[in-house]
Amino acid sequence: MNSYSYEELSVGTTETFEVEVTDEMLRAFCEMSGDVNPLHTDADFAKSRGFDSKVVYGMLTSSFYSTLVGVYLPGERCILQEISIKFRKPVYVGDVIRVTGRVIEKTDFVKRVVIKAFAENQTGVKVNTATISVGL
């Protein structure tokens, strides 16, 4: 786990990690959240809506932003304050998601940083983007 201090972070500091989305994650998220919408649980239903297969919950893939700030940037000292996410493309089971965050702004008197982040799949398609504010 990283442990950047506020002073160690600069505009431009960047961290990246990868994670593969599994069917087990989908089932666990379904059970945890209670979101039983068939778009996420029934491949035939998802196909009838124009998707390739079951669509991974947007909130599941966006949970990787929690990992980004809590483990990588800044890591241990992170207090997540705000996050705004745009869901751009569907994610499917088996996709390998690469999450990248870059510090774009620092506010010294409250030790807050703003991070622009995005998640892309194994073909380089951005599946979602986020703006995240964290305190340290």
Residue ranges binding another protein (CB under 8 A): 81-82, 107-110, 112, 135
Closest CB to another protein among residues 88, 106: 106
Q: What is the 3-state secondary structure (H, E, C) of 14-38?
A: EEEEEEECCHHHHHHHHHHHCCCCC
Neighbouring residues of 104: CB distance < 8 A, sequence distance ≥ 6: 11, 114, 115, 116
Q: How far is the CB of 109 from another protein (least distance, A)?
A: 5
Strand 96-107 and strand 14-20: pairing? antiparallel
Closest CB to another protein among residues 41, 81: 81
Handedness of CA 67, 121, 50, 54 (dihedral sign): negative
24 CA to centre of own chain: 18
Closest CB to another protein among residues 22, 107: 107
Closest CB to another protein among residues 79, 125: 79
Q: How far is the CB of 17 from another protein (least distance, A)?
A: 27
Assess contact for 21 and 93: CB atoms under 8 A: yes
Q: How far is the CB of 36 from another protein (least distance, A)?
A: 31
Q: How far is the CB of 24 from another protein (least distance, A)?
A: 35
